[in-house]
Amino acid sequence: MIPSPADVFRALIPPNRREPVQASAAAFAPANIALVKYWGKRDERLNLPVTSSLSVSLGKLGSDVRLCGRQGRDVVTLNGKPLPDDSSFVRRVSSYLDFCRPAAGWGFEVTARNTIPTAAGFASSASGFAALVRALDGLFGWHLDGRALSILARLGSGSASRSIFEGLVEWHAGCAADGMDSYAEPLGVEWADLRMALIVLSRAEKGIGSRAAMQRTVETSPLYAAWPATVHRDMAEMKSALQERDFTRTGAVAERNALAMHATMLAASPPVLYWQPESVRVMQKVWALRAEGVPVYFTMDAGPNVKVLYLADTEPAVREGLADWEFVKPNA
Amino acid sequence: MIPSPADVFRALIPPNRREPVQASAAAFAPANIALVKYWGKRDERLNLPVTSSLSVSLGKLGSDVRLCGRQGRDVVTLNGKPLPDDSSFVRRVSSYLDFCRPAAGWGFEVTARNTIPTAAGFASSASGFAALVRALDGLFGWHLDGRALSILARLGSGSASRSIFEGLVEWHAGCAADGMDSYAEPLGVEWADLRMALIVLSRAEKGIGSRAAMQRTVETSPLYAAWPATVHRDMAEMKSALQERDFTRTGAVAERNALAMHATMLAASPPVLYWQPESVRVMQKVWALRAEGVPVYFTMDAGPNVKVLYLADTEPAVREGLADWEFVKPNA
């Protein structure tokens, strides 16, 4: 019997906590940027990944979600705008909320606000679903631990499993069919001087969502066959680099892992290219800065924007080198 | 005993044809653009490829080479400029000419002229070595057949093996250690309406030569493991598409094969990115034109420039769509 998301909810939520314990609840969760990417699912329904991944959470950049119960259909407001019932976002959220309705006819009022650009490769669905799970936990008084919250967040969006935590976070791929061993947890490494900044090139919605791009890559890219072994190697080296606070190695592995992920997409049919001409210009500029002795590396997700990784004491040089673009720094 | 390039020359050139039969000889060979790429060697000395490849020759765009014997060192002139003896190009040509010197102290005067931009991804080394081999054949009166000329050209530059022929050309990977089964030959498909044009973005020399980029990819890119199978699939589909004169399939396979090649480079350490911001803009424009119904596809080699593939009757629409850039059309 293949487990469903509903089975996972039933297994994790105490049976006596199916009714709200308060009128409303609010929660925040940070966005996260992977240093070793999640790219490809082994189970589409449970969002179980092919590989483990590792990310850094973005402090106060993320999503605020406020929840109340209501009679009737769900009402979802995003960044101050009520969304149409038939929008794909509302349908995705409502399907997720189906797992926790106390009774038929029971709806939710969901008020979400992202402090980062939505759907342009800044993982707003990750922080959004993580905040939603935390708000549900408060509304229903589940008092679940981080591991259970991470599993539930994963059912909404794979990388949301990582947005349950601050700092450096590892999401274990796991191998169980029900995904109970596929959750994130803090890596246990503190690195106060590590900085990540967002170079914003476009706030436009992307042409193809990461969910569809990931699926197309797994199904059609002949290079995807080599991706799991690539991540296996990069994860081992990244963890060792982080434990040693070795910035050069951390940056180099993050950059090569991101490029390899984009490479697998490029070979999909039809190809997936999230880069804009300006993305290439930023990458080239980062390489030029490194050649000049400024230790800065980049990573990129399923969108045109570039994220840069550097250490606190080089921030003036990094900012100056990238002064042509909008530089968004999370206050981590 | 591993065969050397000198062994191959000895095996192919008749023993009684080691002296010039005329004072000078000149030859032309076309550049070629691969529709299924050559990327990676199984033998560095003999330029034996990991996979077969398939190209289209560019008519009158290519290289003219004129050869005379002289006393003393070689003198190489490229596009009207005498090259310094210690330039890497002269050393490469001289090492190659070592295989055919009638006696010690015997030099060559090599006058080469490219009708395409040198070393910016337009395969000028391919047409250059193919023309050089043809000129040597004339100077020494070897009267070798196309297969032998192709093998000798390959020893100078892998893709030169294909520039021995006009039109659609297949280079067989072969499997013999001495490379005697690794030669190009015409595919036997005529397609008068098939057009290839060069979109020139940069005539600058590239940062890393294709020989070094190929080697780095084979040695460090974890995605290269999946490349041979990718080419195997693409070769089969390309040959079938060309035999059926199926332009949509031909273009789609050419484009995906080129993107997959660039993808393997992107995952190398350090990464190899030949694209300029403008390259991305051209790719996006080609995709936009296709979305508007103009059947045009692109391919890219180890350089920033883009080559477009289309059929004769759509040329006005293709030219208009790409009017922002220099459009170089070989008179094939």
Lowest mean pLDDT among A109-113, A238-242, B123-127: B123-127
Q: What is the mean pLDDT of chain B?
A: 94
Q: Which of B88-92, B213-217, B242-246 shows the lowest per-residue confidence on average (mean pLDDT)? A: B88-92
As given in the structure block, the two tokens for residue B240 are 């079938």
Amino acid identity for residue A222 in this structure: P
Q: What's the pLDDT at A299?
A: 98
pLDDT band, residue A2 (cuts 50/70/90): confident
- Tell me whether B278 touches chain A (CB under 8 Å): yes
Chain B touched by A267 (CB under 8 Å): yes
Q: Which of B221, B235, B259 to mutate to test the interface with A (most CBs of A within 10 A)?
A: B259
Mean pLDDT, residues A156-167: 97
Closest chain B residue to the Cα of A253, Cα to Cα? B269
Look at A238 and B332; give whichever has higher pLDDT. A238
Is pLDDT above 70 for B102? Answer: yes
Do the Cβ atoms of A223 and B264 come within 8 Å?
yes
Residue pointed to by tokens 């089964």: B181
Q: What is the pLDDT of residue B331?
A: 59
Residue B28 is predicted with a pLDDT of 98
Site from B37, B223, B257 to mutate, A interface, most A CB atoms within 10 angstroms: B223
Instruction: CATH 3.30.230.10 in chain A: give the residue spans.
Output: 5-186
ipTM of the complex: 0.88
pLDDT for A1 equals 72
Task: Give the mean pLDDT of B206-224.
Answer: 92
Average pLDDT over residues A202-226: 89
Segment B1-17 mean pLDDT: 91
CATH 3.30.70.890 spans which residues of chain B?
194-328
pLDDT surpassing 70 at residue A121: no
With 60 as the cut, is the pLDDT of residue A308 above it?
yes
Res A298 pLDDT > 80: yes
**Residue burial A211-237, b: 16+ Cβ < 10 Å; e: rest:** bebbebbbeebbbbebbbebbeebbeb
CA distance B243 to B235: 12
Q: Read off the pLDDT of each residue in A245-254 and give the average, rounded to a whole number.
A: 98
The answer to whether the CB of B300 falls within 8 A of the CB of B292 is: no
Cβ partners under 8 Å of residue A203, min gap 6:
A117, A120
Would you say residue B322 has pLDDT above 70? Answer: yes
Flag whether pLDDT at A123 surpasses 70.
no
CA B238 to chain centre: 18
Task: pLDDT band for B266, please (50, 70, 90 cuts).
Answer: very high
The answer to whether residue B276 neighbours chain A at the CB level (below 8 Å) is yes
Residue A17: CB atoms within 10 Å: 15
- Smallest CA–CA separation between B272 and chain A, in Å? 10
Percent of chain A with pLDDT over 70: 96
pLDDT value of residue A115: 85
Q: Is A280 left (phi over 0), alpha (psi -120 to 50) or beta?
A: alpha
Highest CATH level, class, for B194-328: alpha beta
Cross-chain residue pair B266–A259, CB shorter than 8 Å: yes
Answer yes or no: is pLDDT of A259 > 70: yes
B89 vs B284, higher pLDDT: B284
Distance from CA of A326 to the nearest CA of B (A): 18
Q: Are strands B41-43 and B48-49 parallel, antiparallel or unpaired?
A: antiparallel
Residue B118: its pLDDT value, please? 56
pLDDT value at residue B117: 64
What letter does residue B84 receive in the DSSP assignment?
Answer: P
Residue type, B171: W
When comparing pLDDT for B332 and A70, which is higher? A70
What part of B 212-231 touches A (C-beta under 8 Å)? 222-227, 229-230
A279 contacts B271? CB cut-off 8 A: no
Across A14-18, A256-260, B295-299, least confident range: A14-18
CATH level 3 topology of A5-186: Ribosomal Protein S5; domain 2 (3.30.230)
Other beta carbons within 10 Å of A323: 8
**Shortest CA distance to B136 belongs to which of B46, B67, B183, B64?**
B67
pLDDT of residue A204: 67
Q: Cβ of B260 under 8 Å from any chain A Cβ?
A: yes
pLDDT tier at A52, thresholds 50, 70, 90: very high
pLDDT of A46: 97
| Confidence tier at B204 by pLDDT (50, 70, 90) | low
> What does the pLDDT read at residue A205?
66
Span B168-182, mean pLDDT?
97
Percent of chain A surpassing pLDDT 90: 86
Q: Please, which pLDDT band fits residue B318 given cuts at 50, 70 and 90?
A: very high
Beta strand pairing call for B106-114 and B75-78: parallel
Instruction: Give the chain B residue nearest A277 (alpha carbons).
Output: B277
- Residues in chain B with CB shorter than 8 Å from the CB of A276 are 280
Cα nearest neighbour of A225 on chain B = B226
Is residue B205 predicted with pLDDT exceeding 80?
no
Contact B230 A224 (CB under 8 A): no
